[in-house]
Amino acid sequence: MVQYSSDRLDAAYAALSDATRRGVLEQLGHADSSITDLAQTFHMTLTGMRKHVGVLEQAELVSTKKVGRVRTCRLGPRRLEDETAWIERHRRLWESRFDELDKVVEQLQRKEKADGRNERE
């Protein structure tokens, strides 16, 4: 079950903060690719590319599948219509409600203080 989707957004944005990883996403946008091919394309070691793919995978921007001895990478599985988006919608609704509720509570507190002062005067 998905919890606290802002953490996942953070993971996605963190994953996107690196130029190589953005390049990998772009590459996978054209075609699925093995880690070996990606490493060659980006002039990196296999280990280095595995790390980048791992970060993208954790952010759910990329999924990998091992077929035989080759690990193939593809875009996804994150898309708008998944449960992350569902919970994000609810979070946004309640955050905007509660931001307004903050104002109401603040206003009530101010009023209470002012009334208290008036009574003393």
Partner 1 sequence: MDATSESEPTLMENDAKVERTSDRELVVTRTFNGPARLVFEAWTKPELFRQWWVPKSLGMSLLSCEMDVRVGGGYRLEFDVGAAQPVAFFGTYSEVTPHSRLAWTNEESDEGSVTTVTFAEHGGKTFLVMHELYPSKEALDDAGTGAADAMGESFEQLDELLVTLGASDGPS
Instruction: Note the residues at the interface with partner 1 (CB under 8 A).
Output: 1-6, 9, 12-13, 16, 22-23, 25-27, 29-30, 41-42, 61, 79-80, 83-106, 108-109, 112
Q: Which is nearer to partner 1, 54 or 96 (CB)?
A: 96
Fill in the DSSP letter of residue 121. -
Q: Which is nearer to partner 1, 66 or 91 (CB)?
A: 91
In whole angstroms, the minimum distance from the beta carbon of 55 to partner 1 comes to 15
b/e map 51-83, b = 16+ CB within 10 Å:
ebbebbeebbbbbbeeeeeeebbebeebeeeee
Contacts 24+ apart (CB under 8 A), 90-99: 91/5, 91/6
Q: Which is nearer to partner 1, 45 or 68 (CB)?
A: 45
In whole angstroms, the minimum distance from the beta carbon of 68 to partner 1 comes to 27
In whole angstroms, the minimum distance from the beta carbon of 105 to partner 1 comes to 4
Identity of residue 30? H
